[in-house]
Structure 1
């Protein structure tokens, strides 16, 4: 007697679930990470996990990293070690559009999350240890998303068992390192996690650094010094000077690498290269965006940019056409609350100006190109500032002085002719020192003009009195 259709569907569904469970077990067990198809002996790998407010930004950064390696035609597979909660649409984009192989893994439990100095941002960074489980490959270059490859660097695979770049004489940076996959090492790392191996920061940086304490005696990467020659490699040419927030990684000692091969950005959290405001604060951020422009593009952000531009231009036009006046607040004779109302208006006026400079940062897409982002910022700030100017009858130029100062500081920081980072920092400091008195003077002028308006009863005409002509309200 044959099975019914319902029974057949049930059996098929059961075997599908069983197959998924087997795949999960295979990708997270200690038998090494299995890949669908191995095409090269070596691999470039990065990791992706969920659970932070910046998941989408790192997803974009990983896509740019993968596409930049494809563009350089590296002789290696591209691997993304992704946690099981990464959205499937992201996984499909990485596999079908970016040429990467996605390995789905379970998050490694972080036993250090209860220690006092633990930063929640690094809760899942121990997933990086799965790189040692990629036993199908001879060597793996493990990367953070904030790396940028300027040229082909397959020489990195000539490294020994483990190589990394030192960010000071004793501590190496785990944002870029080369390893030889080993099932024994992977098992031992997991065992040491379970037994509570000491970890100063509770993240991958501290754990891997403690696991390889003798790395100074191994082949490794070094950041070059400005004005010097390091292991036969000349210093960076003009326009690629050393900066305190960047490390120009170059494999040296026994493995020759060309200059300007790899740039990593281990700077402050909110100064990663994909943020539009990071340039020109950090000059080489424009290199990352140029790579994105040539590979991934900005189609995802452009609809929001167009909408915000139209809204900002509409606000500017409307405030120019509207009469520069405010709703009159009437009071009877000698109302004792008038001084409180005047203070409240001052408070609202100042905060409206501050909001004009802060709000655009919150609404502009974070990963847009810096030139587009700063243009949209100035457009939005002008629109919101014009509302404050017309609403509170404030002088235009003093209100716009901070915006002019920001624009000037960007020009100073973007200047490409500084011989080194110290001169650049001194130039920015000198500019800020000269602009500070002007900014203070503009603030005093705005407060004085606002006080004069209040004292002339332009905002508070007495009940029954006629309002002054609209032309007399213009104070600029």
Structure 2
């Protein structure tokens, strides 16, 4: 065999490896292009790591859509998955890998573990290649471009609380000297209300409340000093829920923030329509990263529920329930507690049919898809229970109809303000409660009749003269 032929076959054998390397190789990291930056941080170790990863991608991609004149920087702990880093690099994000700052407040009584690594936010002061950095939490929703913030001074933040500024968005001038001083203050256990970045920075910049309000100079110049930011740069979502519209008179209405409990952040599908602004966040996701990652699971789960309903309706056709099918014998039926056992079984099955689908829905999908999938899943399980116990249709489906009605009541778009909305939802709950109670009593009555008929059948007695009428 000639050398040229040997080289040909060798190249051919290595072709798959070359192709694989080209597809799965490391993505070239983004490089600095601007003198300012929007930055956020990511660390691992919480039950919600993936959700915050999604939220960070949506926020940073939304800044790209707003055509900001600044770099996008992620301060990432060393244990952030490499595939996430690669995806963020593809999004044009500059990733700075750092070691976690040890939190000396973590052993303090009442400390919340979710704040353990939030002091990594102090690494923003090490981004000395930039003139100004706007540091962000993942739960910011940008309504418009905010590049004028880069004209602010050494530290600028907005006061959501009348006396305490919020660290979900603040402007800083990077400085290694300031960073080292802060780390020294951390190790010295400087006063910190919550043991997190919020408490530390409020203590460090303790006179910010007395500083002047920031107004960007018309000539585009950069100012020095410490400033308070207008509330329009950190519009607390709770302000919206009172009027169901934004009326923030100070500063441009540029950024919405969601400083709520972690499980009510806007990226969770169940946050809407409980919190109406959740839909606005998902609109941004739809136009940035989309839902391609979750769609295969959604399709498979939907097919599972549809097949479950179809198989149930076919398999239980003509099925007549007897307690012997539930492993109850003649001697066991003589005990009076078996009606209670059967009632408990029916109630627990019903409860499970509404709880289990909730946890099977992917957490960060669009609320309309999430609630649709939840209602489909709960319906499929309710159909299984109905056919297994031959329960009456309307009582068994009353809770499902009640949940659907509550969603409609909360999502109704014509409420004039949040008070009317809250009263309407409360009125719906008040009028729906008797129907739920009626359904429960009907189901329990049906179970009693089922037990009585089965007892007569097993003990050899003739069937009662009355027929077991369907309750609905």
Matched with 2:86 is: 92
Q: 1:425 to 1:223 in 2, by over 3 A?
A: farther
Q: Answer yes or no: is 1:163 the counterpart of 2:156.
A: yes
Matched with 2:284 is: 291
After superposing the two structures, state which structure 1 stretch, 243-252 or 75-84, moved more.
243-252
Matched with 1:398 is: 395
Matched with 1:385 is: 382
Matched with 1:325 is: 320
* Counterpart Cα distance in 2 of 1:332 and 1:95: 66
Superposed counterparts of 1:222-233, under 5 Å: 222-223=230-231
Matched with 2:139 is: 146
* 3-state secondary structure, aligned to 2:89: helix
* Counterpart Cα distance in 2 of 1:461 and 1:213: 80
* Cα-to-partner distance string for 1:434-463 (whole Å, 9 max, x where unaligned): 2122222221222122222112227x8416
* Counterpart Cα distance in 1 of 2:230 and 2:244: 12
Superposed counterparts of 1:206-245, under 5 Å: 206-218=199-211, 219-223=227-231, 242-243=240-241
* Counterpart Cα distance in 1 of 2:139 and 2:299: 28
Q: Give 1:56 shift.
A: 0.7
CA contact under 8 A between 1:249 and 1:263: conserved in structure 2? Answer: no
TM-score computed with the length of structure 1 as normaliser? 0.82
Matched with 1:23 is: none
* Counterpart Cα distance in 2 of 1:187 and 1:197: 14
TM-score computed with the length of structure 2 as normaliser? 0.83
* Cα-to-partner distance string for 1:308-363 (whole Å, 9 max, x where unaligned): 11111112122222234335417666656532332211111101101111111111
Q: Give 1:216 shift.
A: 1.1
CA contact under 8 A between 2:357 and 2:377: conserved in structure 1? Answer: yes
1:347 to 333, 344, 352: 344
* Counterpart Cα distance in 2 of 1:177 and 1:379: 43
CA contact under 8 A between 2:243 and 2:417: conserved in structure 1? Answer: no
Q: 1:99 to 1:250 in 2, by over 3 A?
A: farther
Superposed counterparts of 1:299-314, under 5 Å: 299-314=292-307
1:59 to 53, 74, 84: 53
* Cα-to-partner distance string for 1:121-149 (whole Å, 9 max, x where unaligned): 11111101101111111111111111111
Over the aligned positions, Cα root-mean-square deviation in angstroms equals: 2.9
Matched with 2:62 is: 68
CA contact under 8 A between 2:239 and 2:246: conserved in structure 1? Answer: no
Matched with 2:273 is: 280
Matched with 2:363 is: 366
2:72 to 64, 78, 88: 78
* 3-state secondary structure, aligned to 1:142: strand
Q: 1:337 to 1:50 in 2, by over 3 A?
A: farther
Matched with 1:17 is: none
Q: Give 1:417 shift.
A: 2.5
CA contact under 8 A between 1:325 and 1:390: conserved in structure 2? Answer: no
* 3-state secondary structure, aligned to 1:280: helix
Gaps of 5+ in 2: 1-28, 212-226
Matched with 1:315 is: 308
* Counterpart Cα distance in 1 of 2:247 and 2:146: 11
1:443 to 426, 429, 440: 440
* Counterpart Cα distance in 2 of 1:297 and 1:215: 39
1:417 to 414, 425, 440: 414
* Counterpart Cα distance in 2 of 1:244 and 1:177: 26
CA contact under 8 A between 1:165 and 1:249: conserved in structure 2? Answer: no
Gaps of 5+ in 1: 1-34, 225-229
* Counterpart Cα distance in 1 of 2:167 and 2:244: 14
* Counterpart Cα distance in 1 of 2:189 and 2:307: 60
* Counterpart Cα distance in 2 of 1:333 and 1:128: 69
Q: Give 1:262 shift.
A: 1.0
Matched with 1:462 is: 458
* 3-state secondary structure, aligned to 1:303: helix
CA contact under 8 A between 2:243 and 2:416: conserved in structure 1? Answer: no
